[in-house]
């Protein structure tokens, strides 16, 4: 069976959560980075981009687009999506909450310098006043995982956004003992631990060169957008 093939830009963005999920499942994958207009046009000509946008993942003979659809398929295939329909509903609810916060963080690095301080305050306030208290309460009623007794895509999304915020606010979890224990537990899982080490498929925070490339791409007529967050098509 061939490895899943990921089509996206050479950066985090919407594809990063998919990389996390495949890593947690122990699935090796290939990546083809979009770097030229010709690559994008070839995917369009081949009918690979249903809505003319990425992320796109080739897996099991399918060419899947739409981030949540891709993640739900992978999570279900590799037993990271709960034991029954009720657990899946909770997983979806918690994962979407983590992703809502993640969107704010993803935008941050691409903002003009004059807007960054205010946006970081917004991120911290929303994390502390809305999202982290909710997750703290959920974890206080659980046994280490957000749902049930096994790892799920919701756990991965939450750890991912925690680590993203800590890149700008290292002490963000100081008042959240449940989230501190959660972070330690999930990041200590061998496959996750491996993914967090240098040299893994995990992408680093966008550097200056990547930000410049992304900003130039936004101005080009072949920009590729994710409909859920068009302004960070290259993030």
Domain count, the chain: 2
> Do 205 and 141 fall into the same domain?
no
pLDDT tens per residue, range 12-25:
999 999 999 999 99
Instruction: Please report the pLDDT score of residue 230 as a whole number.
Output: 38
pLDDT tens per residue, range 44-102:
999 999 999 999 999 999 999 999 999 999 999 999 999 999 999 999 999 999 999 99
> Do 28 and 68 fall into the same domain?
yes
> Do 60 and 108 fall into the same domain?
no
Backbone dihedral angles phi then psi of residue 62, each to the nearest 5 degrees: -110, 160
Instruction: Please report the pLDDT score of residue 112 as a whole number.
Output: 87
> Do 104 and 62 fall into the same domain?
no
pLDDT at residue 225 tops 50: no
Helix pair 67-77, 15-25: axis angle to 10 deg: 0
pLDDT at residue 222 tops 50: no
CATH code (residue 129): 1.20.1050.10
> Do 98 and 179 fall into the same domain?
yes
**What is the pLDDT confidence band of residue 216, given thresholds at 50, 70 and 90?**
low
Instruction: Please report the pLDDT score of residue 214 as a whole number.
Output: 63
pLDDT at residue 219 tops 60: no
Which of these, 96, 4, 93, lies nearest to 56 by C-alpha position? 4
Instruction: Please report the pLDDT score of residue 235 as a whole number.
Output: 35
CATH code (residue 17): 3.40.30.10
Instruction: Please report the pLDDT score of residue 80 as a whole number.
Output: 98
Structural domain range at position 66: 5-78+196-232
> Do 92 and 177 fall into the same domain?
yes
Which contiguous run of DSSP H or E holds residue 219? helix 208-219
> Do 225 and 175 fall into the same domain?
no
> Do 133 and 103 fall into the same domain?
yes
**What is the pLDDT confidence band of residue 234, given thresholds at 50, 70 and 90?**
very low
Please, what is the average pLDDT of the chain?
90
Which of these, 56, 156, 172, lies nearest to 121 by C-alpha position? 172
């Amino acid at each position: 069976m061939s490895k899943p093939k990921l089509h996206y830009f050479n950066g985090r963005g919407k594809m990063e959560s998919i990389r996390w999920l495949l890593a947690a499942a122990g699935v090796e994958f290939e990546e083809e980075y979009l770097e030229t207009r010709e690559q994008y046009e070839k995917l369009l000509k081949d009918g690979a981009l249903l809505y003319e946008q990425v992320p796109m993942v080739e897996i099991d003979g399918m060419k899947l687009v739409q981030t949540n659809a891709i993640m739900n398929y992978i999570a279900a295939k590799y037993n990271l999506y709960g034991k029954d329909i009720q657990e899946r509903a909770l997983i979806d609810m918690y994962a979407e909450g983590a992703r809502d916060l993640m969107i704010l963080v993803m935008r941050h690095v691409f903002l003009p310098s004059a807007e960054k301080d205010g946006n970081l305050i917004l991120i911290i306030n929303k994390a502390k006043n809305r999202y982290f208290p909710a997750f703290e309460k959920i974890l206080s009623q659980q046994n280490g995982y957000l749902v049930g007794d096994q790892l799920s895509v919701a756990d991965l999304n939450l750890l991912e956004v925690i680590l993203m915020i800590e890149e700008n606010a290292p002490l963000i979890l100081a008042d959240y003992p449940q989230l501190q224990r959660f972070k330690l537990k999930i990041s200590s899982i061998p496959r996750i631990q491996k993914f967090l080490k240098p040299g893994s498929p995990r992408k680093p925070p966008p550097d200056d060169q990547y930000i410049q490339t992304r900003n130039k791409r936004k101005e080009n007529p072949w920009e590729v957008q994710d409909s859920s967050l068009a302004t960070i098509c290259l993030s």
